[in-house]
Structure 1
């Protein structure tokens, strides 16, 4: 079975915002909570990042995002992100295609970061998962090919498969979908990566998990 891309990437963005709001609605006191997956950030910093990225994409699509906010509380930060995000939703829908795919991947990855920080499991289903995972696979695939490594098959226990790199895969790494996602997004340490189910020694491919903005943390990832 090979994964497909059933819908434009921007479709998942409102769902990320709703998910983050639902996650934080009853946790207004977590503003200063550290986010282990982004150790230099608090929850407030992460929300500010999400709104800032949305503002940049609005500008790229010809819009003018709201002036820099002085929002301080979690509800205010969420409201500001929604203000920018609702404008962005319209612009991405009008642009069609996959114009917002990297932004959606970033936002969904950070929703998972927040869930991990708060001890909340990942959602069983999410509209942003498939397009975001495809972005990660493409980036990792470029890293595998760019390092001259043979292709690697990524597989879930349910039978979904992706190929990273060029040519026929010579090995397979199998893990639950969430763990594969976190591995490709720099949220698993080298030891955690090596502990996944590999059909061959994982050593040749471990360096390839450092690509773009991502790299395995020195500590156990979440």
Structure 2
């Protein structure tokens, strides 16, 4: 008998876990819809939830679904959570039917914003999360493209726990090391240039710092969250 490895889990599997985590966080904090989210300086909690719902609706429409009618007034947190769950459950089904070949950006965005909400309320990240690995891998790929696109030398991205990735092309010319959470937040535009420079670098970090601006991500001018 030939042993076979199980197929890797599709990237969207962490999406329901994000929705559950965000719901639990906010249901424990009623009346928080106007609470600011420092990692997204212009957003309140309600603004962030409206963004997550809008992204889910966009993905649903892209996969042939029909989002529910647009509300005639801004929704509060409980209604936004319900709408996100309604749309998200249908997104889950359609992505599963499509073989799990889509949804990684949506999951990374949602998980990153779950971390934003946790930071806003001083709640630590979950010890384990189904969205962690695919989201981190996507961020490393994006950062890698940023390095290559700027003609910068490759960089070894390492966690203090011993995991390592090569970002960019060719042999790494230097390394940057930090706890896994801090690396995630750095790659997702949640750490300032000053904070990035304070990570453990094997060489002077300045040549690589511009690459942390990529895609939708730009290091904040003030302290990161």
**TM bucket normalised to smaller:** over 0.9
Aligned 1:184-195 pairs, distance under 5 A: 184-195=187-198
CA distance in 2, matches of 1:102, 1:41: 20
Equivalent pairs counted in the alignment come to 218
SS of 2:43's partner is strand
1:6-48: CA deviation from partner (whole Å, max 9, x where unpaired): 4211000000000000100121211001100001110000000
Whole-angstrom CA distance in 1 between matches of 2:98 and 2:144:
27
**Bigger-Rg structure (1/2):** 2
Q: Please report the TM-score for the alignment, with normalisation by the length of structure 1.
A: 0.96
The whole-number CA distance in structure 2 between the counterparts of 1:34 and 1:182 is 18
Equivalent in the alignment of 1:142:
145
Q: Cα RMSD between the aligned structures?
A: 1.1
Q: 1-side partners of 2:149 and 2:116: how far apart?
A: 28
Which runs of 5 or more structure 1 residues have no equivalent in the other structure? none
Paired residues of 1:194 and 1:203 also in contact (CA < 8 A): yes
- Tell me if structure 2 keeps the 8 A contact 1:28–1:73: no
Shift of 1:71: 5.6
1:44 paired residue number = 46
Q: Does 1:209 align with 2:184?
A: no
Cα distance in 2 for partners of 1:54, 1:187 equals 23
Runs of 4+ in structure 1 displaced over 3 angstroms? none
- Contact 1:149/1:165, CA 8 A, preserved across alignment: yes
Is 1:92 matched with 2:95? yes
Q: Secondary structure at the match of 2:166?
A: strand
The corresponding residue for 2:121 is 118
How many Å apart are 1:72 and its aligned residue?
A: 2.5
Q: CA–CA distance in 2 between the matches of 1:71 and 1:91?
A: 27
1:67 CA displacement: 1.1
The separation in 2 between residues aligned to 1:11 and 1:116, in whole angstroms, is 23
1:178 is matched with which residue?
181
Residue aligning to 1:152: 155
Structure 2 gaps of 5+ residues are 1-6
Q: Secondary structure at the match of 2:55?
A: helix
